[in-house]
Amino acid sequence: MPFTTVHLRYINIRESKYLIKIFELVSYLNKHTKRKFIFIIFVIFINSFLEFITIGTMVPLISFLSNPDKVLEIEILRRTSDFFNFQEPKELFLFISFSFLIIILFSGFIKILCIKKINDFGSTLRIELGKKLYKEILYQDYEYHLNTNSSQLISSQIQQLDSSLAVISESLLLGLSVLNILGITISLFIIDFRLIFYIFTFSLLFYLIATTSTKKYVDVYGKVIFETRKNIIRIVQESLGFIRQIILDDSHSFFIKEYDKNNIQSSIANANSNTIAQIPRYLMESLILSGLVISIIFVHLSGIDFYNYLTKGGAFILGLQKLLPLFQKTFRSIYFIRQEKLSVYSVVKLLKYTKKYKNNSRDKLVDILELKNDIRFENICFSYKENRVLENINLEIKRGEVIGIVGKTGTGKSTFINILLGLIKPQSGYIYVDGYKMDANLFRRFRLSVSSVPQDYYLLDRTIEENIVFGKSQSKVNYNLLDKVVNISMLKDLINSLNYGIKTFVGENGIRLSGGQKQRLAIARALYKKHSLLILDEATSSVDSETEKKILENIINNNPKITVIMIAHRLQTLKNCDYIIAIKNKKLIKYQNINEYKSKYESNQN
């Protein structure tokens, strides 16, 4: 087998490390899936053995045709004849012929079963590892997502994961091809025939018929695969772009369920489509061998002296028809597996990294930690690498206060908010909420009581309603509350002007809305949650002054107990604040009202 040996020679020490990575990827599967993997290996060995038996059975059959008078000199045929007490050579011939036919058909069935199991295993891999990788990525903390390119994660979740799973499937197919080559080659060696011809024209006619008959299935499954892949890409892009709000709302499961639903549909369609695409080849093989046996029976019973032609033709059809496709498969599998090496390395590396930082309590439901009294900052310091942003921050925020935060760009306003929410960790100091010293689990509970409108808010490519009630199924929507927040955020006139009203799709990241409209929608989303703390980070910067004034008044008047923290550059935005905090030179400076801040600000400007 020089062809196979040449290509397997590439599996050197470096390739052995790659094979370890493939098995490492399999190690992330659950026990039930691993048992499926072992069963597939068993079926592959059975298939290889049947290949050996199929070719090996040709020995007595061809011997019978070549020398019918000396057939009983062959030990195995003599014992078979004695065991079944055959009286005539024709009886023995028919027994051998039909036995061979049964073996051929059974071997074809095992091949189809083997391919079906491999494709189903690929589907299971995609469902299981796809969900695992997506879940691990989505549950990483905010700092991880700040430091990781989202396009890299999308590539890992979609393209690289698919390539890695294809590598595992191709590895199984490679094992199937190599073992089949081994079984066929041993049998042909026993028969002592050389392969000297090429595949005959019947294959062309067969595949034309197969193409026509499978077109309906290709169209159906192709559409399902196309649509679900689009949905998966959309869901992954939305969730990664919206990760801050997901962490704040603890709504990871909403996106995971949507992803899992589309992923299952796509995977099952892929498995069925791949199975249908590969069945014709094995059906053709069974038909060829069945035709060969029937022809031999016909020629023998008709008394035609054509034994030598049939013997050589049978060897040609059986050997060449089987071996050449297997050699090509072996080459293709090795080529593909080696080509996708980096995808496997990338996915295994990502799974390893995310597993290292796994939070065991993340899947558990938690109670909301509502703000009842106050929030305290004690000696908070934070740096981005070597750049100190905040230093020795001490502050107390009481429930029900409306606080304005000002400062030049880059002074640490958004950083201050992210520390407050536990999205990033300070290098030193502590935060207390109602006397609780905050840790990762308490911050998770606290974030469930916070509504936030960040500068980089993200809108889903869904309806206005779905964007406002984000994470809620339609049956759980509170339409009275929805109508209330629409009025507070001054969205009513916009919705009334649209043909589909609140059911209007906003486009990717709200592309069909203006900047001010998107900001008002983001405010409505935050208010819908009815949380005790509202954070507005330049949330009305794209809204005109008069509308901004009405929105802020509506928020305060309709939610008298809510605590509001506003970051703004326009001083008018801070008019209703109880006090102003300016961040300057890494410190906090507190002003009792807007007039005090304006006087200090104007004197500093002069």
Give me the count of residues in the chain.
606
Cβ contact 48:173 at 8 Å: no
Taking each helix axis from N to C end, the angle separating 252-302 and 215-241, rounded to the nearest 10 degrees, works out to 160
DSSP string spanning 236-291? HHHHHHTHHHHHHHT-HHHHHHHHHHHHHHHHHHHHHHHHHHHHHHHHHHHHHHHH
Tell me the C-alpha to C-alpha distance, in Å, between residue 144 and each of 7, 109, 185, 354, 428. Answer: 41, 50, 54, 10, 19
Instruction: Count the neighbouring beta carbons within 10 Å of the beta carbon of residue 358.
Output: 10
Q: What CATH superfamily classification does 374-605 receive?
A: P-loop containing nucleotide triphosphate hydrolases (3.40.50.300)
Which residues are CB-contacts of 312 (< 8 A; sequence separation ≥ 6)? Answer: 193
Residue limits of CATH 1.20.1560 in the chain = 2-138+146-194+206-355
Cβ-in-10-Å burial (0-12, 13-18, 19+) of 429 comes to middle
pLDDT of residue 294: 77
Residue limits of CATH 3.40.50.300 in the chain = 374-605
Cβ-in-10-Å burial (0-12, 13-18, 19+) of 541 comes to middle
| Residue indicated by tokens 């796994």 | 358
pLDDT of residue 198: 41
Beta bridge partners of 433: 375, 436
What letters, b where the CB count within 10 A reaches 16 and e where it falls short, cover 41-70? eebbeebbebbbbbbbbbbbbbbbbeeeee
Here the tokens at position 49 are 């053995």
Among 451, 530, 519, smallest CA distance to 489 is for: 519
Distance between CA atoms of residues 373 and 219, nearest Å: 62
What SS3 state is found at 123? helix
pLDDT of residue 564: 92
Which residues are CB-contacts of 372 (< 8 A; sequence separation ≥ 6)? Answer: 399, 434, 532
pLDDT of residue 247: 83
Which residues are CB-contacts of 354 (< 8 A; sequence separation ≥ 6)? Answer: 133, 136, 137, 139, 140
**CATH class as words, domain 2-138+146-194+206-355:** mainly alpha
Strands 450-453 and 533-537, sheet pairing: parallel
Q: What is the mean pLDDT of each run of 10 residues along the chain (606 residues)?
A: 41 58 76 81 80 67 62 65 74 77 81 81 80 80 74 66 77 78 68 46 59 69 71 79 80 86 85 74 71 70 58 55 67 64 75 61 69 91 86 91 88 88 90 90 87 82 89 78 92 91 87 88 90 88 86 87 87 84 89 81 54
Backbone angles phi, psi at 358, to 5 degrees: -70, 135
Here the tokens at position 499 are 């043909």
Distance between CA atoms of residues 27 and 194, nearest Å: 43
Among 393, 439, 395, 389, smallest CA distance to 414 is for: 389
**Helix or strand holding residue 309 (H, E):** helix 307-315
Which residues are CB-contacts of 522 (< 8 A; sequence separation ≥ 6)? Answer: 453, 457, 459, 539
pLDDT of residue 199: 42
Beta bridge partners of 533: 450, 563
